[in-house]
A and B are shown apart, each in its own frame.
Chain A
């Protein structure tokens, strides 16, 4: 009889009488193998590409809602950006009308997929877009007109300004309205991962050091700031002694099943009124609205 997928053929010997039982035992052995083919029956390195011939094996499981993109440049002077409050990043342009492609929302980088720990082991979120913010003239900075005879009369009233970005990921079956805080050691319930920041110190265009009339002669270093904003976060469905601990290492805990939503969020430091200010004696704006766009945001899964 078969044992763990192996066939045992009756022992035929020359001169012995051949009976039906001999043949039927062999048949039974083959038949019992039919539902017992396992790892011992598969030759090492025996499964090549031809064996995996169905979409069930190679399927792009998460589908089009798990990824989104946007190819336009957004001049956000029409868009509110609240002070210190996390909110989804709008990635659409009213004129000429351009929206987010893919995902589950036309205006925001927001994706969704069904997570099943029986099938999925790891997921990686990747997001990247470009961002430019010209805060170079924000706040007064330069010479003190009331103290022009002093070689060291540079005054800096620049404000500290920065923007933070993150990937917000819901719990499986949870909502994007839950725990809109950065996930950290001190706040493990936070659902914003991979936070990154872009900003300028208010001391950046302050006085230079060095000898008078050399490079240190009060050169002004006002500038805009630009960057690729790129964030990567990962989740996993299992945990044992060989794997990172989801409770303490801040890998996203995906041990439970359910639909998962994720979106790109941001917040700024500074008040709304700071986003635009006039400079005395100048027609220039002190701080202009962000220009950003050219976005890709998607989840990649690794099945068991």
Chain B
């Protein structure tokens, strides 16, 4: 790595064709493959005024943004930026109801389902570090839970129940899922798990003026305290390959509240059943997957084997 032609020595009296060819060959070698790290000049030292506010910076690098190959931007359906040393995937979805998604045990089952607008596919040619950030507004609506305070005299709660009340009844779980072709076989990453609770409380029956009646004329109380913005952050290292990454939701089992004993609804509802957990809404969803390459992958040793690693799919990709 360097320019290695010594030129024509003073002891030589004539210039020969071989001398010129050696010079041309060494020049060719230098231009094509001879420039190494020692070929670059040292960065300029900062002047005293330039060091103001950055006392530990000694030199200013000379490679600037204009020298780097510009990133490629891709729009829908998979908006992302792919650059020299990283790729960034991003999604944003508004908070309006038409943009929201809803899961119920009835229409989505209780299996793990991807949440639209929070997932993407990473195609990694090299080793990478992934920093994932997501936020979303989420709440349950329609299920019913007993209040913490029930029964009593004069409409006042005297029976108090620790395991009832708002933010107590489980409606479902949200987490980050990361699946490679054979890597990361987990259903989701447990360090990102979030619980969603139901938010509607049943009225309760009390004795008023000598007769049993239902508080609040039998209307349920939607206290809205169960509506939250949730956040999930995650980081991991990935080998070269293709990965699906994003948020998933898993509805809680569709339990039922039996009415008669606790008598929490209108009298003519006695004997009926009301769902304990129902529709979970996801609104205002945002996701960023920041992928920073950490090392060059070898096409043979790192990628060739991976292309046929799936025993169920022998076709190389």
How many residues from B make CB contacts under 8 Å with A? 95
Confirm or deny: A23 has a beta carbon within 8 angstroms of a beta carbon on chain B: yes
Is the beta-carbon distance between B5 and A213 smaller than 8 angstroms? Answer: no
B12 to chain A, nearest CB (A): 7
Residue in contact with A296 in the complex, picked from B55, B58, B84, B234, CB distance below 8 Å: B234
Q: A24-B8, A285-B162, A294-B193 are in contact. Are A53 and B296 (CB under 8 A)?
A: yes
Binds A, one of B221-229, B266-274, B300-308: B221-229
Considering the complex, which residues of chain B in the window 33-74 have a beta carbon less than 8 Å from any beta carbon of chain A? 35, 38-41, 52-58, 61-64, 66-70
Q: A31-B3, A215-B216 are in contact. Are A300 and B57 (CB under 8 A)?
A: no
Q: A37-B41, A223-B148 are in contact. Are A295 and B8 (CB under 8 A)?
A: no
Confirm or deny: B90 has a beta carbon within 8 angstroms of a beta carbon on chain A: no
In the bound complex, residues from chain B placing their C-beta under 8 Å from that of A11 are: none
Residue in contact with B191 in the complex, picked from A44, A46, A69, A215, CB distance below 8 Å: A69
Considering the complex, which residues of chain A in the window 265-304 have a beta carbon less than 8 Å from any beta carbon of chain B? 279, 281-282, 284-285, 288, 294-296, 298, 300, 304
In the bound complex, residues from chain A placing their C-beta under 8 Å from that of B235 are: 67, 296, 298, 300
Please measure, in the bound complex, the distance between the C-alpha atom of A71 and the C-alpha atom of B62, giving whole angstroms.
Answer: 44
Confirm or deny: A117 has a beta carbon within 8 angstroms of a beta carbon on chain B: yes
Confirm or deny: A235 has a beta carbon within 8 angstroms of a beta carbon on chain B: no
Q: A143-B152, A228-B228 are in contact. Are A134 and B168 (CB under 8 A)?
A: yes
A254 to chain B, nearest CB (A): 10
Please measure, in the bound complex, the distance between the C-alpha atom of A281 and the C-alpha atom of B161, giving whole angstroms.
Answer: 11
B66 to chain A, nearest CB (A): 5
In the bound complex, residues from chain B placing their C-beta under 8 Å from that of A58 are: 85, 126, 292-296
Chain A residues touching B, range? 35 or more
Residue in contact with A228 in the complex, picked from B191, B215, B221, B232, CB distance below 8 Å: B232
Instruction: Encode A14-31 as 1/0 by CB contact (under 8 A) with B.
Output: 000011100110111011
Is the beta-carbon distance between A130 and B223 smaller than 8 angstroms? Answer: no
Q: A23-B8, A54-B296 are in contact. Are A154 and B156 (CB under 8 A)?
A: yes
Is the beta-carbon distance between A284 and B162 smaller than 8 angstroms? Answer: yes
Is the beta-carbon distance between A23 and B15 smaller than 8 angstroms? Answer: yes
A266 to chain B, nearest CB (A): 17
B288 to chain A, nearest CB (A): 11
In the bound complex, residues from chain B placing their C-beta under 8 Å from that of A57 are: 85
In the bound complex, residues from chain A placing their C-beta under 8 Å from that of B68 are: 45, 47
In the bound complex, residues from chain B placing their C-beta under 8 Å from that of A33 are: 3, 39
Confirm or deny: A226 has a beta carbon within 8 angstroms of a beta carbon on chain B: yes
Please measure, in the bound complex, the distance between the C-alpha atom of A123 and the C-alpha atom of B204, giving whole angstroms.
Answer: 53
Confirm or deny: A132 has a beta carbon within 8 angstroms of a beta carbon on chain B: yes
Confirm or deny: B230 has a beta carbon within 8 angstroms of a beta carbon on chain A: yes
21 contacts across the A-B interface (CB closer than 8 A): A18-B15, A27-B23, A34-B35, A35-B39, A39-B63, A39-B64, A43-B67, A128-B192, A142-B152, A214-B216, A214-B217, A217-B215, A217-B216, A221-B201, A228-B231, A240-B53, A257-B56, A282-B159, A295-B191, A296-B235, A300-B235
Q: A128-B192, A285-B162 are in contact. List 13 more A-B contacts (CB 8 A).
A: A24-B8, A52-B293, A58-B126, A58-B293, A60-B237, A117-B54, A132-B167, A220-B157, A223-B148, A224-B167, A282-B159, A294-B191, A294-B192
Chain A residues with CB under 8 Å of chain B are 5, 18-20, 23-24, 26-28, 30-31, 33-39, 42-49, 51-55, 57-60, 67, 69-72, 117-118, 126-128, 130, 132, 134, 136-137, 141-143, 145, 148, 153-154, 213-215, 217-228, 230, 237-240, 243, 255-257, 279, 281-282, 284-285, 288, 294-296, 298, 300, 304
